[in-house]
Amino acid sequence: MDMSQRIQRQLSRTGRNPFDFRYIKTRTGLSEVPDAGPCVVLATPGMLQSGVSRQLLERWAPRPENGLIITGYSVEGTIAREINNSMEEIQALKGGKIPLRMMVSNISFSAHVDGAQNCAFIDEIRAPVVILVHGEENTMMRLRANLVDKYKGSNYELAVHAPRRGEAVELHFRGEKTARVLGGLASKVPADGDYVSGILVEKDFSYRLVNMDDLLEFTGIAPVVVEQQQLVPYTSSFELLQLHLEQMFGELPLTTETSNSGVANTLRVYDSVDVTHASWKTHVEIEWESNIMSDMAADSVVAVVLNIESCPASVKLTQGRGCGHSHHSTSGIDETVPAGDGPHSHSHAECTAVAPGLARTNDNHEIATKLALFLQQQFSQVEVADDGSSITVHLNDLSAVIDADSLDIQTESPMLRARVEPLVAQVSRALRPLSHRSVALPEPEPATPLASGPEPEHKGDAGADADDTDSSDDDQTEPPTSANTAASPGHE
């Protein structure tokens, strides 16, 4: 038993039991209770069904100078309840009847409220529904009737239920919920029709709407930032990775770190997703703080990385420093220039050959197909017209139509236009040759095919005039298949 410091000091100083009172003694059995002289015995149980209280009752009941004080509630069917109802004799535990001549009184020490106190409590809180669940059936029914009669005809609508044991009670509540706006959101009173955006917190059947910055102060909930990292297998060069990411997301900030292991380059996409390529690793690390926008950007980056090596043309054009590609002359001879770091027999300005499928073309269907590939990275529903004249983008109930020739966008949604326009602008750059992605590619000019014969005076010019060559063909002009179809020294 815990004791205060004062009692503990008294016990240690005097050695006397602090609970050993002068006029109050603790008894362990009925044999220690004296029959001579006045005394008061506090005994249990209060219902007088058994135990010390029942034994004392049978011993003292016949004598009128003795008294019984019942201090608590008595359940129906117990000896205490029958004594309260003025019985004249009691049944002994060992059999027989014992006359009840002692004085009987009832003083309530119960902690339960009575009918008047219940009514005062109901008036105070104005509860719409009251359910009586404790007490005898007759008493509860009388209290229910009193409550109904008291508030009948008043402005206070009260529903009172007194269900039997095991009986279900259905309660109906309004679906509307009210939330308190706290912190920075409460600095401005919204007008009718305004929207308030924040974090809704439910606690103890109450709702609070707060900003992320006020979450800890008003709710005790600390916000947590989830940092995600994904490793995507990748074995190609960093230049190829940078090329594809910038074609999708535009110019990206670059951070380079050099260590004993090699060089690590990091590109930052939308100022939220870091893409790191280390020269000594066979994967790309993608890191970001998780939220709706960053997760979408990270998914797009993963899709781009996974699709890089599935494009043979881009790999071929970026796999080495030298050209390493075939030059096709008008005579149909495959002229291959070895790749390497040494000098070329022609300038790099001439070396603009583009793999089929990436050069700019006037074929609307090919343009629409390429544009659709880019749009599918951002929108799940993209449709290309059968004739390739247009692309239709669907976003929920919204749609936008893009003309494949002029790249004009037709839509009634400003939001969808704002999302589609940057992608279309990136596609216009992506359709240029990979080696000239930062400079606009001019439209191809008609030129006369070159035939075998004397070499022209203007060597290396891609647009050689027809007067400089002798041709036995008709004077029909065709666009060159690449920028290096003109004759050059040493080429036959």
Q: Catalytic amino acids? A: 112
What is the rounded distance in angstroms from the CA atom of residue 458 to the CA atom of residue 462?
A: 10
CA 21 to chain centre: 65
Tokens coding 436: 């000239």
Is residue 375 packed enough to be buried (19+ CB in 10 Å), middle (13-18) or exposed (0-12)? buried
